[in-house]
Amino acid sequence: MIIRTEAHARAGLLGNPSDMYRGKAISFLIGDFTARVTLWESPLLTVKPHPGHDRTEFEDLADLVRSVERHGYYGMQRIIFAACKRFADYAAERTIKLRPANFTIEYGTTVPRQSGLGGSSAMIIAALRALLKFHRVPARRVPSRELAELALSVETKELLIAAGLQDRVVQSYGGLTYMDFSSGKRKYTKLSPRLLPRFGLAFLAEDHFGALESGRVHAEVRYRWERGDREVRRSIREIARCALLGKEALRVGNTKRLGRLMNRNFDLRRKLFGDEALGAHNVRLVEIARERGLAAKLPGSSGAALILLQDGSCEEALQQAYAQEGYRYRSIEAF
């Protein structure tokens, strides 16, 4: 039997990155980008390296250097290793009996690398879903809430990457999700995707970036937040409030207010992190949309801008504006 699983990219609509600091967030899935895992029983446990993300053959030394600059030294394979390792530990902790069988696992993704769209978490969710199916673990043993926690632990415990629950929750639950991390008991509310207006997405071409993980972007702010820095705490509260107010704006269909909240979310984040931490390309991705009267913000840590499209928005002109500066643009399917 061949097992195929997937998880979609996600866009942080409002509230990010307060999810990492006991805040609030609204996110939705993007149907255009997907992480996929294929798994089947085999004599030996085999992880088949992805030919793009985990290359082992190159045309020459310059080709190897370009690959390292774009994908780093570790690629996607370590994520699969970490997901398998954490899954085994989790099963032992929960006394989940695993089958005495080996498997071969293949993986691939269409999520743009370093776009801040939850590509790593999507791959982890897809891998965990495949492992759960292979070992015939009933869905009730690992509900969506617990799957999100397990996926987060793959990065925080195994890979020691600073990360929050936002990506994993929306990718586990699916659809448009409002998340409140402010209390001891986290609260997740599913909202109808029909409440969403139209969005566009601008993102970096591979030549624009090096191998940067989202945890490094958050490191300094996280340090200050843990020590009770008043400015950081106040800014995080205001960013979280954008999600709270955005939930009501979605409910009543107030698109203009939603746009204002998106802009405020980005402005607060920009002031808190600073342009150097955000990066010139990320700031420019937002500015290009704003210069044309459109609300925009970062949907994740870096690498992309989420753009609220207005009635009559000329996407062809918007695409050309981004292309002129070497960026990519596309309308997206939100669900």
Residues acting as catalytic residues: 167
Residue 68, amino acid: V
The tokens of 56 are what?
């082992």
